[in-house]
Amino acid sequence: MKKIINNPENVVNEMLEGIVKAHPQYVKRLEGLNVLVRANSPVKGKVALVSGGGSGHEPSHGGFVGEGMLDGAVAGEVFTSPTPDQIFEAIKAVDGGEGVLLVIKNYTGDVMNFQMAGELAEAEGIKVADVIINDDVAVENSTYTTGRRGIAGTVLVHKIAGAAAEKGMDLEEVKRIAEKVIANVRTMGMSLTPCTVPAVGKPGFQLGEDEMEVGLGIHGEPGTHREKVKTAAEITKDLLDKIFEDIELVEKDEVAVLVNGLGGTPLMELYIANNEVDKILKEKGIKTYKTIVGNYMTSLEMAGFSVSILKLDEELKELLDYKADTPAFKQL
């Protein structure tokens, strides 16, 4: 294992310290906890958003704490759900009196722990709602989930629901907006290499030099199948074909596209993949309203990428365009 770390047991703590020192204008850390909140938390008079999950997906989720997105992010150990007590402390720290929306990826531990924390907060008089993201079209059930996994589409939920909260919508409306995004976003990914959890010290699975895994999860869970490495055009077509099977898109529909790197993929390759996405959408007469390319929901050093397609209407377009200013996402 080659990693730029000190002690594998301290990677999350040291990472969070490094984030705060790099971005003190955006985030602060709750003392003794693996929780980042907005530097100006709590923000009075607005619904707060809290998300999180296992570490190893950076910049998710701490990189999206800031104006127009999240109010708090809770970091578990690498690929491990955060504990209910840490989530509970995050909820209390960001509540500005208008309630808190929990944005949860559909992994069994995350769902259980976030909802448990929500119940604890409600017992203290805090209004709490939650949404569960399940954008992955690859597999219905996986190592970590009942139903579909939540992956890179989560970032679009953070962006759009965060905008709704920033604009002053109430908790019920922010939840409605988040659920609307979830209903209209689909993601499919692939990998060229495995990744290594620092505490384990060896790759989570093996791939031959000429092999790729299609439809894997962001923790290295198995995908739909393995096959020989193809061209960017062929890979992208396969991913989009699976998405098109799952969501109805017709000529003149407008979409947002997220081409997301898994941590070890050069931007050159992500832009090549995006070029192929654009060609396919144009052939179908589908208009790309906004494109986002980069590393947003990673899997440590895994090489590979995912494509997320979000079907838009006027309401979602307005919120997608709304100002956001966070360490990992800026839209001014």
Residue 2 located in a structural domain: no
Find the CATH number of the domain harbouring 166: 3.40.50.10440
Which structural domain, as residue segments, surrounds residue 118? 8-183
pLDDT over 80 (residue 154) = yes
Rounded to two decimals, what is the model's pTM? 0.96
For the chain, the residue count is 332
Pairwise CA distance, residues 26 & 38, whole Å: 6
Residue 48 located in a structural domain: yes
Query: In angstroms, what CA-CA distances link 162 with 28, 267, 295, 320?
Result: 18, 27, 19, 9
pLDDT grade, residue 120 (50/70/90)? very high
Q: Are residues 166 and 235 in the same domain?
A: no
Q: Are residues 193 and 174 in the same domain?
A: no
Residue 138 located in a structural domain: yes
pLDDT over 90 (residue 146) = no
Furthest C-alpha separation in the chain: 56
Quote the pLDDT of residue 150. 96
Query: In angstroms, what CA-CA distances link 122 with 105, 136, 202, 251?
Result: 21, 30, 42, 45
Pairwise CA distance, residues 222 & 218, whole Å: 10
Last residue of a domain, one of 183, 207, 225: 183
Q: Are residues 29 and 174 in the same domain?
A: yes
From the candidates 23, 61, 219, 225, give the one annotated as an active-site residue.
219
Q: Are residues 229 and 115 in the same domain?
A: no
Q: Are residues 192 and 57 in the same domain?
A: no
Quote the pLDDT of residue 223. 87
Find the CATH number of the domain harbouring 254: 3.30.1180.20
Q: Are residues 160 and 110 in the same domain?
A: yes
pLDDT grade, residue 228 (50/70/90)? very high
The residue assigned the tokens 């074909």 is: 241
pLDDT over 90 (residue 140) = no
For the chain, percent of residues with pLDDT exceeding 70:
99
Residue 44 located in a structural domain: yes
pLDDT over 80 (residue 215) = yes
Pairwise CA distance, residues 312 & 253, whole Å: 8
E runs forming strands in the chain: 27-29, 35-38, 48-55, 72-78, 100-105, 128-133, 185-191, 211-214, 225-228, 254-261, 287-294, 304-311, 324-325, 330-331
Last residue of a domain, one of 160, 183, 206: 183
Q: Are residues 126 and 215 in the same domain?
A: no
Active-site residue flag, 219: yes
Q: What is the pLDDT of residues 239-259, one digit of tens each?
A: 999 999 999 999 999 999 999
